[in-house]
Amino acid sequence: MKYNIKKRIASLLTLALVFMLALPSGNQAEAAPAGINLEVKSAIMVEPTTGRILYKMNENEALPPASMTKMMTELLTLEAVKSGKISWDDKVKTSEYGHWMGRYGGSRVYLGLGEVRTVKELYEAMAIYSANDATVMLAEHISGTEENFAKLMNQKAAEIGMDNSYFVTSTGYPASGLKQFIPNAEGDNLMTAKDSAILAREIIMNHPEALEISSIPRKFFRGEDSPQKVRMDNWNFMLPSLVYGFEGVDGLKTGHTDAAKYCFTGTAERNGMRIITVVMGAETEAKRFAETKKLMTHGFNNYKMQTIATQGKEIEGFETVEVRKGKELEARAIPERNLVVPVRIDDEANYKPVVTTQEVIAPVKKGQSIGKIGVEYSGEDLQEYLRPTDQEQVMVQLVAKEEVEKGGMVRLFFRAIKSFVVGIFDSITGMF
DSSP, res 406? B
Question: From the CB of residue 236, how many other CB atoms can be counted at a distance below 10 Å?
Answer: 27
Element (H, E) at 318: none
Question: What pLDDT, on the 0 to 100 scale, is given for residue 424?
Answer: 57
pLDDT of residue 96: 98
With contact defined as beta carbons under 8 Å apart, do 212 and 239 qualify?
no
**pLDDT for the residue 203:** 98
Q: Which of 106-110, 221-225, 324-328, 343-347 has the lowest mean pLDDT?
A: 324-328
Q: Is the peptide bond before 252 cis (omega within 30 degrees of 0)?
A: yes
Which residue is catalytic, options 42, 56, 67, 165?
Answer: 67
E strand or H helix at 124, and its extent?
helix 119-129
- DSSP output for 103-117: HHSSS---PPTT-EE
Percent of the chain residues topping a pLDDT of 90:
79
What does the pLDDT read at residue 420?
A: 53
Q: Which residue has the higher pLDDT, 131 or 362?
A: 131
Least confident of 118-122, 217-221, 226-230, 327-331: 327-331
- Cβ-contact 73, 199 below 8 angstroms: no
Could you report how far apart the first and last alpha carbons of the chain are, in Å? Answer: 80
pLDDT grade for 21, boundaries at 50, 70 and 90: very low
3-class DSSP state of 75:
helix
C-alpha–C-alpha distance, residues 229 and 310, integer Å: 52
Write the DSSP assignment of 140-172 as a string of letters: HHHHSSHHHHHHHHHHHHHHTT-TT-B-S-SS-
**pLDDT at position 34 over 60:** no
pLDDT at 329: 85
Which of 42, 95, 107, 130 is labelled catalytic? 130
Cα–chain center distance at 337: 19
- Judge whether residue 428 has pLDDT over 70: no
Sign of CA dihedral 37, 40, 41, 42: negative
Predicted pLDDT of residue 324:
87
The amino acid that residue 53 corresponds to is: I
Residues 147 and 42: their CA atoms lie apart, in Å, by 29
Residues 355-371: what's their mean pLDDT?
92
pLDDT digits (tens, 9 = 90+) for 165-187: 999 999 999 999 999 999 989 89
CA distance 144 to 319: 57
Mean pLDDT to the nearest integer, 45-52: 98
When mean pLDDT is compared across 84-93, 272-281, 320-329, 337-346, the lowest value belongs to 320-329
Q: Tell me, yes or no, if 67 is annotated catalytic.
A: yes
> Is 130 noted as a catalytic residue in this protein?
yes
**Looking at residue 409, what is its pLDDT?**
52
Nearest to 390 by CA among 253, 208, 197, 210: 197
Question: Has residue 246 got a pLDDT over 50?
Answer: yes
Percent of the chain topping pLDDT 70: 86
Q: Is 2 a residue whose pLDDT tops 60?
A: no
Q: Across residues 122-140, what is the average pLDDT?
A: 98
> Is 46 a residue whose pLDDT tops 90?
yes
pLDDT at 299 (0 to 100): 98
List C-alpha distances in Å: 332 to 184, 240, 362, 363: 61, 48, 13, 14
Q: Is the preceding omega at residue 183 within 30 degrees of 0, hence cis? A: no
Q: Is residue 301 very low, low, confident or very high in pLDDT (cuts 50, 70, 90)?
A: very high
Give residue 390's identity as a one-letter amino acid code: D
pTM recorded for the entire structure: 0.86
Is residue 414 over pLDDT 50?
A: no
Model confidence band, residue 142 (pLDDT cutoffs 50, 70, 90): very high
Instruction: Say what the alpha-carbon torsion angle 169, 175, 180, 184 is, to the nearest 10 degrees.
Output: 60
- Tally of CB atoms within 10 A around 142: 22
C-alpha dist (Å) from residue 277 to 43, 56, 309: 7, 10, 27
Average pLDDT, the chain: 89
Q: What is the pLDDT of residue 429?
A: 61
Q: Are 82 and 116 in contact (CB under 8 A)?
A: no
More confident site: 425 or 120: 120
Q: How far is it, in rounded angstroms, from Cα 339 to Cα 306? A: 8
DSSP state of 154: H
Specify whether 372 is catalytic: no
Q: What domains appear along the chain, each with residue ranges and CATH number?
A: 32-305 (3.40.710.10), 310-409 (2.60.410.10)
Average the pLDDT over each of 7-21, 132-146, 235-249 and give the range with the smallest value: 7-21
H-run or E-run covering 411: helix 409-429
Are 211 and 236 in contact, with CB atoms under 8 Å apart? no
Contact 100, 171 (CB under 8 A): no
Q: How does DSSP classify residue 25?
A: P
Instruction: Average the pLDDT over each of 77-81, 116-120, 210-214, 357-361 and give the range with the smallest value.
Output: 357-361
pLDDT at 45: 98
pLDDT at residue 1 in the model: 39
Q: How much of the chain is helix, strand and coil, in % rounded to 5?
A: 40, 25, 35
C-beta of residue 235 within 8 angstroms of C-beta of residue 130: yes
21 or 114, higher pLDDT: 114
Among the options 70, 219, 253, 293, which is catalytic? Answer: 70
Sheet holding 261-270, edge to edge: 52-57, 42-47, 273-282, 261-270, 249-257
| C-alpha angle 27-295-244 in degrees, rounded to nearest 5 | 85
